[in-house]
Chains A and B, each alone.
Chain A
């Protein structure tokens, strides 16, 4: 555990953060956490299972609507709403995933995209239940979470817990089975794994965490709209993961920090945000294909090998968080 001491520092930094920045940036920080959780859950499918989901926003949106509807229409306590968001997203993923895991590669991407759009249109059209394209307003958090700072701490706690859970999953035998499927699905079958079943379980678990992220969004924004399920929403975790790096566990979170912060910053003085992010993606893909985390790791590797050149160190391969 000793090598992860810096994560403790990051967490302490995150706790102190709202005390030193203005309210606008606290809002941005909440968004970073929520989108980061969304992106890390996306990477359970992309990075660990090796399939590109282009419909992950469906589960984010379902999670947002589950909490939104339960809060607005039934005044259910927020923690229960969040659990309901995870369950709703999980059920939805079980149905979509049943079909999606039959395919891989581009076909998997296209089918997830299609299911994502299906979800979008259902929410868009179902006025009586979801509010249709008007969205859902008046999603009010409980009193003790009213201020931006309070909601920030609440989100920080939940996102941290979710990340720890996903980190454990990524290192568990299940997590390694996903890597095995990514690396060589055929071989994994001959070892005795029902590959489709495992892919489906992973798809559902990833969707549940996306649903949790969605659930956190409504009470923060006070409103939600069907756009949360739309395909460009599905593209955001892809961007974040590419920027941050898909091979490290925290890559997508780092991507969220960069993406969300830049968006808040850039939209302050120009409306050409999509052009800026487009340019960044192009530069990352061309010059640092492993993402920011990949770059940092490569540098750290050089640093380490320089300092340990004398010792007969074994090339211990560990995945960084």
Chain B
């Protein structure tokens, strides 16, 4: 499977008022890739994810998933194709329990949400418990999600994205607000999902040790434009990237 193009973005543009948030971006991913997009705040990383998942309408350009033009598809259709995302600021169901949060994604994937009469608690038990286990949320199964710690909310965020059994996941700063230990665990999980389940994963991250430790390909975004791309070593050696971004970090 590996090596085939799964995502292809052609000359993508998006402006907000006078601000060019995405400027002629070309991008490609192959199946089972684990890559990162980096760039300073306001570089257009989140906007890029929003355009790919249909949250914002593109001004011009095209998005192809497995050769299919999905430009400007609504979010729910993009999700049904097998593309999900986890958000930077945890975006969960605060009044439902951890278990119910994850079950919702799984029931949706199983096309059971138009079932009116089977009590939900009888459905998708095995899959939900399994995902709780994988993401390390088992102790918090019955906790109201709004009361979870910041790190656990981010984990739940990831679990919801995985509940849809996606083939491709966008993770917007998956370890933001986590302790060092939590960050390592989460990134190990991300790596496992990529290696063992063949998930294609694209993430953004502020923590450079995370980026260089896990991403196999890096793309540097600055003011909506791609200024560098390549393996971590290549990007590290790229002068322009260093000046704009990496220089700030060290």
State the A residues within 8 Å of B (CB): 168-169, 171-177, 179-180, 182-184, 186-195, 198, 201, 314-317
Contacts and interface: CB of A to CB of B under 8 A. Distances in A.
Interface in B72-126: 74-76, 79-80, 84-85, 87, 91-97, 100, 103-105, 107-109, 112-121, 123
B79 A171 contact: no
A190 B162 CA distance: 12
- 10 A-B pairs with the lowest CB-CB distances in the bound complex, closest first: A192-B79, A189-B75, A183-B93, A177-B113, A173-B107, A171-B119, A173-B115, A173-B112, A192-B108, A192-B80
B117 A191 contact: no
B71 interface: no
Given A168-B117, A173-B114, 17 more contacts: A171-B121, A174-B116, A182-B95, A183-B94, A184-B92, A186-B91, A187-B91, A188-B104, A189-B79, A190-B53, A190-B55, A191-B79, A191-B160, A191-B164, A192-B76, A198-B113, A315-B143
B224 interface: no
25 contacts: A168-B116, A168-B119, A171-B121, A172-B120, A173-B115, A173-B123, A174-B114, A175-B120, A176-B96, A176-B100, A176-B107, A176-B120, A179-B95, A183-B95, A186-B75, A187-B91, A187-B92, A187-B93, A189-B75, A190-B79, A190-B85, A191-B76, A192-B108, A193-B108, A193-B113
Q: Most chain-A CB neighbours within 10 Å: which of B92, B120, B142?
A: B120
B109 A174 contact: no
A171 B85 contact: no
Contacts of A182: 95
A152 B237 CA distance: 83
Nearest to A180: B104
Nearest to A183: B93
A198 B113 CA distance: 9
Listed residue (B84, B114, B121, B144) with the most chain A CB atoms within 10 angstroms of its CB? B114
Contacts of A169: 116-117
Interface string B208-245: 00000000000000000000000000000000000000
A175 B117 CA distance: 9
Given A168-B117, A174-B114, A176-B120, A191 B105 contact: yes
B44 interface: no
A173 B120 contact: yes
A221 to B, nearest CB: 31
A179 B79 contact: no
A183 B103 CA distance: 15
Nearest to A198: B113
Contact of B104 (A172, A191, A316): A191
B142 A317 contact: yes
A169 B109 CA distance: 19
Nearest to A314: B142
B79 A183 contact: no
A92 B82 CA distance: 36
A192 B109 contact: yes
A193 B119 CA distance: 19
Contacts of A177: 104, 107-108, 113
Contacts of B113: 173-174, 177, 193, 198
Nearest to B104: A180
B39 interface: no
